[in-house]
Structure 1
């Protein structure tokens, strides 16, 4: 049996652990150091868990008294989970899991995850005790998302529910993950629709020429479009680009250091400068920057932005390039993000031996976590030759 001193002395460890008292009662100690009293019992042929209180709010003698109360309820043929304090609900555990994960996620992803749960899961099972939710009940909730035609969303929600049940199991509040096997009962996800992208160099040149004609070669949108094409980065990186991110523009190795905050990374990586993305700049890319500076898009007139909006104090509008491509007659054939596919497709066909450098140029990590952790080779010189080749192809 436990002693009060042992309960007080129980400290956090790398993994959750239990200290048993007797009669199914035990102290659950979470990796965070939180302590709660749990009671293991059987009802209706199933093993169940009941949280009877948190320490120190509930002392050891009080926990034992609640254990005896629960056993009295069992002798009456009733489930203690419905006779005493309300058990932890799915929504409570989901929000606790979400708060635990937030430091690892970007702000946008964290908001998307919570919104999907609030919209599609909490109304159906949010108030249900998490230890009582079965696979059929969960499938019905997720099936409503499938029936709206959102199969990929349903797949992601199932994964998130599985993670929530896993979190509940680690806290001793559930004994199984009913979401784990639901994939077999769900519809296969629809085929992903790739971003519209041109995959021949002649078509890429034609789009650049058409944009120059309809918008003027010196307009902010046309310049940003050319620079996006020449660097194959994501649109947000170009929209937020500032002059102080550029290095050695007048030298032999011009470089753009894209801050990790504008890259597609986990939140923790966004806050570390070592995850900045390095983009070697070809001569045509440098020429675009010089053109932008010559017409007044410089540090003094645009607050440091290379490609500002008409007001000069904010970045170029998010839809400016899509609108430009539509005016140029390429609506549905190419989108701003498509330049990454154009770059990868064309260069992989021409230089299959440079696949690793092409992936690095796009900011793609290695296939596995070990490779991503240990293979930090920037391949800068190889990437510089690729961008020089790409720039020559686009401007030929």
Structure 2
């Protein structure tokens, strides 16, 4: 076969057996072909180029095709079906579906969360699952991928990556591209991760902390840092939301701070009613912020204060591993719930997500009048704690429930 020469202007065929033959073109290229009959009709299929495919391999391919014929399968039609399925798989791969889901969802996320999700897809899911057809991925394949993270000690990451994978599968199910979510059968298969909550003091320790904050500047700390901690205690927003606040978000006349959607965790505007205590701090801060657009500027007024400024101040006051900026949220939530304020109102002021769609429809009203009362009460309560007293929560409106989208007392 190697010695076979082309015939100028003519295609030559060298026959083996069982329909297998080598086709030699006038240019000298050589390729294996198989001639067979299916349902009384002659067909031919290519088995590959020679010498890339040896005689032995060509005979094996011929025998495989003969076995298909014995089973009533047309080798040519089967090959065409496999090519078509490969094309379908390429557009229905896990990676393709994940990228489509990611593009649709990222408009709801803050930049940091967007980067986290993208990194989990690219670094942890795509290498193993990316090329696979999403409707053929098994729980074992997903588990093998997650176990690689566990093996390097990233137990928490494995759980977070599984959550991302589950969202991709649920998206594909909704779009009709797969029927089941293989992650649903993995509950209990991963090493349990014990979540570490950010440190927060007990509510009965709050008066001591407030006194420590009030003394911070006189004991050598920065006055702006003291005001920022006092303001954080009054508003219990997320630390990042506080330090990146700009003056154009704050309306002193209306006693409102509107944190714009791009800065919020779930990209929705959030209204923070300002108590008289919070307004007093802002008025003092405005006089000392050196004309910065930021309410809490860093040493360079063109940037906000460092994220670590408040944390290190708490360390300096003796609260390392006992309290963080985020801890003010936990303390406020605990105390306000114990005082009987409505849970929905507290959750809305914490900018937490609604528990379900019914709540979401009701929460669009934002409970703003009640939140205004809540925030002023909280400011009064902190003042009372400093004086060794407890501010009494005002009477509340009756609890409301949603029934068929109508508000019913």
Same structural fold, with TM-score higher than 0.5 when normalized by the shorter chain: yes
Question: Contact 1:282–1:384 at 8 Å: present in 2 too?
Answer: no
Q: Deviations over 1:280-310 (max 9, x none)?
A: 3232x2232233233x31xxx3332221111
CA contact (8 A) 2:227 2:285 kept: yes
Task: Verify the 8 A CA contact 2:257 2:272 in the aligned structure 1.
Answer: yes
- Alignment correspondent of 1:287: 280
Greater shift after overlay, 229-238 or 122-131? 122-131
TM-superposed deviation, 1:335: 0.9
Query: Which residue of 195, 198, 201 corresponds with 1:195?
Result: 198
Cα 1:148–1:226 change in 2 (3 A) is same
Map of 2:270 onto structure 1: 276
Consecutive unaligned residues in structure 2, runs of 5 or more: 1-72, 388-409
Residue 159 (1) aligns with residue 163 (2)? yes
Bigger Rg, which one: 2
Counterparts of 1:365 and 1:160, CA distance in 2: 18
Please state whether the residue corresponding to 2:232 is helix, strand or coil: helix
CA distance in 2, matches of 1:246, 1:172: 46
Give 3-state SS (helix, strand or coil) of 1:224's partner.
helix
Distance 1:336 1:136 in 2: 41
Check the 8 A contact 1:81/1:87 in 2, yes or no: no
User: Cα offset for 1:115?
Assistant: 0.5
Normalising by structure 1, we get a TM-score of: 0.68
**Separation in 2 of the partners of 1:356 and 1:240?**
26
Matched residue SS, 1:87: helix
Distance 1:302 1:278 in 2: 23
Partner of 2:263: 262
CA distance in 2, matches of 1:257, 1:292: 18
* More relative contact order, 1 or 2 (CA 8 Å, 6+ apart): 1
Aligned 8 A contact 1:245 1:256 in 2: yes
* Length-normalised TM-score, structure 2: 0.66
Aligned to 1:51: none
Secondary structure at the aligned position of 1:181 is classed as helix
The answer (yes or no) to whether the contact 1:257–1:276 under 8 Å persists in 2 is: yes
1:338 aligns with 2:332: no
Please name the residue that 1:373 is paired with: 361
C-alpha distance after superposition, 1:34-88 (max 9, x if no partner): xxxxxxxxxxxxxxxxxxxxxxxxxxxxxxxxxxxxx744876997159864732
Quote the RMSD (CA, aligned, Å): 3.0
Distance (Å, rounded) in 2 between the aligned partners of 1:395 and 1:168 = 55
What CA deviation, in whole Å up to 9, does each residue of 1:352-387 have, x standing for no partner? 245444333323344322112224222134214422
Change (3 A) 1:353 1:254: closer
Say how many residue pairs are matched. 308
TM alignment of 1:213-232, pairs within 5 A: 213-216=218-221, 219-232=223-236
1:211 aligns with 2:211: no
Is the aligned partner of 1:87 residue 2:89?
yes
Mapped contact 1:215–1:222 kept (Cα < 8 A):
no
Question: Residue 364 of structure 1: which of 352, 369, 378 is its match?
Answer: 352
Give the match's secondary structure for 1:180. Answer: helix
The structural deviation recorded for 1:311 is 1.5
Q: Secondary structure at the match of 1:352?
A: coil
**Shift in CA distance, 362/92, structure 1 to aligned 2, threshold 3 Å:** closer
Residues 275, 375 of structure 2: 8 Å contact kept:
yes
Contact 2:255/2:275 (<8 A) preserved: yes
Measured in 2, the distance between the counterparts of 1:125 and 1:164 equals 12
Residue 38 of structure 1 corresponds to none
Q: Is the 8 A contact 1:243 1:305 kept in 2?
A: yes
